Structure 1
Amino acid sequence: MPFVIDSPVPAAPSTAPSSAPGAPSLAEPERPARLPVPAGLGRFLVLGTVFICAACGLVYELELVALASYLMGDSVTQASVVLSVMVFAMGLGSLLAKRLRCRAAVGFGAVEAVLALVGGCSAMALYACFVWSGQSRTALVGFSLAIGVLIGAEVPLLMTLIQRVRRQDAGGAVADLFAADYVGALVGGLAFPFLLLPALGQLTGALVTGAVNAVAGGALVLWLFRRDLSARARWTLVVANVVVLALLAAAAALTPAFERAARRAVYGPDIRVAVRTGVQEIVLTGGGADGRPLSLFLDGRLRVSGRDELSYHEALVHPAMAGPHRRVLVLGGGDGLAAREVLRYGGVRSVTVVEIDAEVVRLARTDPGLTALNAHAYRDPRVRVVTADAFDWLRRADGGAGPYNSAGGPALSRTPGPYDVVVCDLPDPGITPSTKLYSQEFYGLVERALAPGGRLAVHAGTLSARPRAYWTVEATVRSVGLRTAPYTVGRDRTPDRSPGGAAAMPQDWGFVLAGRAPVRLGLPGHGPRPRSLTPGALRAGGREAARQREPGLPASTLTHPRYTP
């Protein structure tokens, strides 16, 4: 219901007689309702229902945005599609509801029953469309349109009902209705991320919201306005609400089995771990006794593949270690695989891993398949783990509590470090939540944390599939005064089993090595030798990157991100 700016206001009472005894007329909505409670209490109950319905409506919106962002990526685009379609549909619904004002109580009860069913089941239906047909965009627009029309239809009907409880001037009625509407939207907007999503998840949370919506709408009509309903209308609404609640309850009971079936369809039959944290969904497949390679998916995207992770992590870490490396900072990399490569060097004295999701680190410490892959890196006493957003952590004085300025905020004049090597093992820059971790502001913080002669290694996406995004990363690193050496490394072209991943994975990984002074691509002269990366392959990767350079690209900033799919 939120975001409705204009709604039809009931016309002045008409004195025209009905065309037949008992037949509805335009005058009927204006007759005082026969309530079982005083008018003041009745008005309060109507506004309370407005509050609840507004909260439910906003939850439906946020649930569609969140699920679409997870399934299709680019949260900015998904939010724009959902909100713009829903706001348009709400206006359309308000116009269509004008025809129902002569039977406002029955119309509102019917609208709420349908809205509860459609909104409550929207997440499950959208997920099913994505998993089994791969066509989620059409479903997203369709549900946004349907839910918006139903939400928009609420306001004219509630306006009519509240005027029937007690007449007042139109401006006062609108003010009361919108106040309850927007406060309800606030509660729904806060309940979704802080209560429903962490406690129930997207599917069950939407179903519970639908049940609350049905109960609130049905109770208002069937109890408060029951004397205005014919016996047939009353029983029709009772049956409709019972059916809706039964369907929502059945869907909630089937949700665990549905999620298991959907995950098997997406990730294959060998899922060992599937957990939803406050940050993301984590899925582990393979890596068990059957000998299948381990795969780690974060929010449906393949982040680690046991088939070729060694090539990736050696290419990311070892060129940066060709210099001082006593203190190393790993941003991201909670799986422990980058730390594994760093710890192969005896000269390393400390490794700080900054990971936003503590559950990833817990799995990297305890899961047999993942610990075998990372060689129990977290058992090494040189490793320190910090659970934090990498950007926010770099802004703090020492990565912990740190000193604070006089205004109570973090003291930004000092940075953690200095570090001889900084490894950015982060999700691809094309993912909207990662955009700030590939921004000019972020690399400025990293540059301040580098020791004299220190090196920065950045995973910059794939050069072959998204060259513009790759060279934007490189330009952004250079924009903070660092000198760069871009390079690319080929990968195992095993088919991608990430959601919707019928196509082959990109052919390569793209990296950027950087420092305050000019840097040359090479491997350390002493210490462990990479098992999959040779000096010749590294030099060839540098030449290939130089051949494909796209000059003149602007840096990406927080206010003007430039990584587009």
Structure 2
Amino acid sequence: MIEPHAPAPPGSPPSWGGPGGSPDSAGGTPGASGPGGPARLPVRPAVGRFLVLAGVFVCAACGLVYELELVALASYLIGDSVTQASVVLSVMVFAMGLGSLAAKRLRRFAAAGFGAVEAVLALVGGSSAMVLYAVFAWTGGWGGLWADGPRFLLVAFSLTIGMLIGAEVPLLMELIQRVRRQDAGGAVADLFAADYVGALVGGLAFPFVLLPFLGQLTGALLTGTVNALVGAALVLGLFRRDMTRRARWLLLTANAVVLALLATATVLADDFERAARHAVYGQDVRVAVKTDVQEVVLTGDADGRPLDLFLDGRLRAGGSGERRYHEALVHPAMSGPHARVLILGGGDGLAAREVLRHPDVRRVDVVELDPGLARLARHDPGLSELNEHAYGDPRVHAITADAFHRLRSTPTATYDVVISDLPDPGLTASTKLYSQEFYGLLRRVLAPDGRLVVHAGPLSARPRAFWTVDATLHAAGLRTAPYRVAARDTGLAPDPDRTAATPNAPRDWGFLLAARTPPALRLEPTGPRPSTLTPRSLAQDARAASRARIDDLPPSTLVHPRY
């Protein structure tokens, strides 16, 4: 894809009677004009010009798919989509400038040079997703010895792909001028028009066609295949007379090798993905599904191993720590009126399980963005047994919706208790669900004496993020009671850095109980007794959280997120 600030073509049209040179050094054939001369096309110039612009269109679409593929994969594997998108795109744009400058030396060999660039770009761009995922799967994730290696690899791919995309600019400009002489401004306009339309098609094809129907690996490999075919067809079909016999055979052989490698990788993509999944999650992967929202993986629940639930590679429920987390999340908020309960997130049904232990609950609404997760929690034998068949209770109503949009249409004072069991605020996609505006909506839907509990991430690892959530709740007109629960085993840690490949994540959870008036942090005296939580331990948890307090932090808002 060509960027607006890419180097412009020469200020004057090429001289058709330029200096001569040997055919081999110029990449021409005997009898052709010297370097920079008009191309000897097998078709009329108008048809040739159309074919070059069509090639620009396809190459631009492929280039943008490579960029989006790197952004998506980096966001999935590393997290923090804003940072990853900024790194990938800024490095690529910078590299495109370098590639344009470097390609100036190839303008005398424009046809052969463009063919070689497209072959390399197809191989590097098409295989980038598979290589990055392999590094993630077989090197222990993004921690330990490889803490910076995969990030450097991401930058290296961005730099290489960007340079190759940038190298297309002067070469395509040279080719289009050899087809038919045109003023520089008109040639730039035509080239940019084809490029930007192609970028639009590639940008729309990635999220709506390639990603949902082919997945990240096969989508990237197919894009590389199309890139190689179009580049080779354009050069070998249209500009073959501008190249020596040796150059044509070298280019044909190179593209055949690239296509063979991409085709082989495409055939093996499913086997590779299964092997990589086992390398990440272990050998006892029982369920692995790609929903419209995320990848859901269930492991264990066989041969005595506890069930683990991973969402997009991040552990969300596992081991006996799962019960400790959900009891600490739910039961302090249930001390008081709790006939009407809203659970935000929690599609696994585990928070609903704890809510239903209170017999006087009349209705539980579970607002979950991913219907596939809720369906799995209802029907999978292991997960439904873990949540004690919560979705089979007639009081539980599963609602597929974005939490923010759902709250905007919820009547005032609808719920006695709201349980926010959402991903950590450190994940960019969750930032809006930890904003002052979001908590303002929650305050509105709470009954006057209602209570809200928020999972605010690991306090020991991210104290500033935790106390920013606290400051944001205060800015929304709520008073809080913070508490921190230590994880005493190897179970759940809902944390964006805790993945299947990085098990040594922080082992505590931070919670904030909020209400219009200062809430009392306690357990319901006549309610069910949690197995991992007592009034004494809850008081100790509150004191532990208070000792880590950070004051005077600004709240997070939609237009100024602070996590």
TM-score range (shorter-chain normalised) is over 0.9
Q: What SS does the aligned partner of 1:42 have?
A: helix
The question of whether the paired residues in 1 share the 8 Å contact of 2:370 and 2:400 is answered with yes
For residue 57 of structure 1, the aligned residue among 59, 63, 66 is: 63
The TM-score with structure 2 as length reference comes to 0.94
For residue 369 of structure 2, the aligned residue among 341, 344, 356 is: 356
For residue 129 of structure 2, the aligned residue among 111, 115, 123 is: 123
The question of whether the paired residues in 1 share the 8 Å contact of 2:39 and 2:178 is answered with yes
1:254 counterpart = 2:256: no
The question of whether the paired residues in 2 share the 8 Å contact of 1:327 and 1:420 is answered with yes
Aligned partners of 2:384, 2:461: CA distance in 1, in Å?
Answer: 31
Q: Tell me the residue number matched to 1:229.
A: 243
1:276 counterpart = 2:276: no
Q: Closer, same or farther in 2 for the Cα pair 1:279/1:29, shift >3 Å? A: farther
Q: Tell me the residue number matched to 2:211.
A: 197
Match for 1:498: what amino acid?
T
Which has the larger displacement, 420-429 or 128-137? 128-137
- Alignment size in residue pairs: 544
Aligned partners of 2:295, 2:537: CA distance in 1, in Å?
Answer: 35
Residue 64 of structure 1, CA deviation: 0.5
Residue 6 of structure 1, CA deviation: 2.6
Q: Closer, same or farther in 2 for the Cα pair 1:16/1:183, shift >3 Å? A: closer
Q: Tell me the residue number matched to 2:539.
A: 539
Q: Map Cα deviations across residues 391-439 of structure 1 (whole Å, 9 max, x no partner).
A: 12112x24xxxxxxxxxxxxxxxx4651000000011111111111111
For residue 455 of structure 1, the aligned residue among 443, 447, 451 is: 451
Q: Closer, same or farther in 2 for the Cα pair 1:109/1:416, shift >3 Å? A: farther
Q: Tell me the residue number matched to 2:334.
A: 321
Q: Percent identity?
A: 68
1:390 counterpart = 2:390: no
Q: Tell me the residue number matched to 1:406.
A: none
Q: Tell me the residue number matched to 2:517.
A: 517
The question of whether the paired residues in 1 share the 8 Å contact of 2:21 and 2:35 is answered with no
Aligned partners of 1:312, 1:20: CA distance in 2, in Å?
Answer: 76
For residue 165 of structure 1, the aligned residue among 173, 179, 197 is: 179
Aligned partners of 1:419, 1:118: CA distance in 2, in Å?
Answer: 53
The question of whether the paired residues in 2 share the 8 Å contact of 1:321 and 1:523 is answered with yes
Q: Tell me the residue number matched to 1:293.
A: 306
Aligned partners of 2:446, 2:428: CA distance in 1, in Å?
Answer: 26
Aligned partners of 2:23, 2:356: CA distance in 1, in Å?
Answer: 89
Matches within 5 A, 1:441-480: 441-480=437-476
Q: What SS does the aligned partner of 1:457 have?
A: strand
Aligned partners of 1:264, 1:25: CA distance in 2, in Å?
Answer: 50
Aligned partners of 2:87, 2:499: CA distance in 1, in Å?
Answer: 24
Structure ranking higher on relative contact order (CA contacts 8 Å, 6+ apart): 2
Q: Map Cα deviations across residues 326-381 of structure 1 (whole Å, 9 max, x no partner).
A: 11000000000001111111111111101111111111011111001000000011
Aligned partners of 1:20, 1:431: CA distance in 2, in Å?
Answer: 59
For residue 333 of structure 1, the aligned residue among 334, 346, 358 is: 346
The question of whether the paired residues in 2 share the 8 Å contact of 1:460 and 1:512 is answered with yes
Residue 25 of structure 1, CA deviation: 8.7
For residue 309 of structure 1, the aligned residue among 315, 322, 343 is: 322
Residue 518 of structure 1, CA deviation: 1.7
Regions of 4+ moved over 6 Å: none
Aligned partners of 2:131, 2:258: CA distance in 1, in Å?
Answer: 16
For residue 111 of structure 1, the aligned residue among 111, 117, 132 is: 117
Q: Closer, same or farther in 2 for the Cα pair 1:13/1:473, shift >3 Å? A: same
Q: Tell me the residue number matched to 1:209.
A: 223
Gaps of 5+ in 2: 140-145
The TM-score with structure 1 as length reference comes to 0.93
Residue 21 of structure 1, CA deviation: 6.0
Which has the larger displacement, 132-141 or 510-519? 132-141
RMSD of the TM alignment (CA)?
A: 1.7
Matches within 5 A, 1:39-188: 39-133=45-139, 134=146, 135-188=149-202
Q: Closer, same or farther in 2 for the Cα pair 1:417/1:200, shift >3 Å? A: farther
Q: Tell me the residue number matched to 2:142.
A: none
The question of whether the paired residues in 1 share the 8 Å contact of 2:19 and 2:35 is answered with no
Q: Closer, same or farther in 2 for the Cα pair 1:219/1:138, shift >3 Å? A: same
Q: What SS does the aligned partner of 1:30 have?
A: coil
Aligned partners of 2:262, 2:103: CA distance in 1, in Å?
Answer: 25
The question of whether the paired residues in 2 share the 8 Å contact of 1:329 and 1:421 is answered with yes
Residue 92 of structure 1, CA deviation: 0.5
Q: Map Cα deviations across residues 91-115 of structure 1 (whole Å, 9 max, x no partner).
A: 0100111111111111111100100
The question of whether the paired residues in 1 share the 8 Å contact of 2:6 and 2:169 is answered with no
Aligned partners of 2:343, 2:242: CA distance in 1, in Å?
Answer: 67
Residue 23 of structure 1, CA deviation: 4.7
Aligned partners of 1:164, 1:19: CA distance in 2, in Å?
Answer: 17
Aligned partners of 1:218, 1:417: CA distance in 2, in Å?
Answer: 65
Aligned partners of 1:25, 1:262: CA distance in 2, in Å?
Answer: 44
Which has the larger displacement, 264-273 or 324-333? 264-273
Gaps of 5+ in 1: 399-414
Match for 2:73: what amino acid?
L
The question of whether the paired residues in 2 share the 8 Å contact of 1:462 and 1:506 is answered with yes
Q: Closer, same or farther in 2 for the Cα pair 1:210/1:77, shift >3 Å? A: same
The question of whether the paired residues in 2 share the 8 Å contact of 1:334 and 1:364 is answered with yes
Aligned partners of 1:553, 1:339: CA distance in 2, in Å?
Answer: 33
Aligned partners of 1:299, 1:334: CA distance in 2, in Å?
Answer: 14
The question of whether the paired residues in 1 share the 8 Å contact of 2:55 and 2:230 is answered with yes
Residue 32 of structure 1, CA deviation: 2.0
Q: Tell me the residue number matched to 2:143.
A: none
Aligned partners of 2:375, 2:420: CA distance in 1, in Å?
Answer: 20
The question of whether the paired residues in 2 share the 8 Å contact of 1:59 and 1:209 is answered with yes
Q: Map Cα deviations across residues 12-36 of structure 1 (whole Å, 9 max, x no partner).
A: 3063442446652997453222222
Aligned partners of 2:23, 2:91: CA distance in 1, in Å?
Answer: 42
Aligned partners of 2:489, 2:252: CA distance in 1, in Å?
Answer: 58
Aligned partners of 1:23, 1:79: CA distance in 2, in Å?
Answer: 42
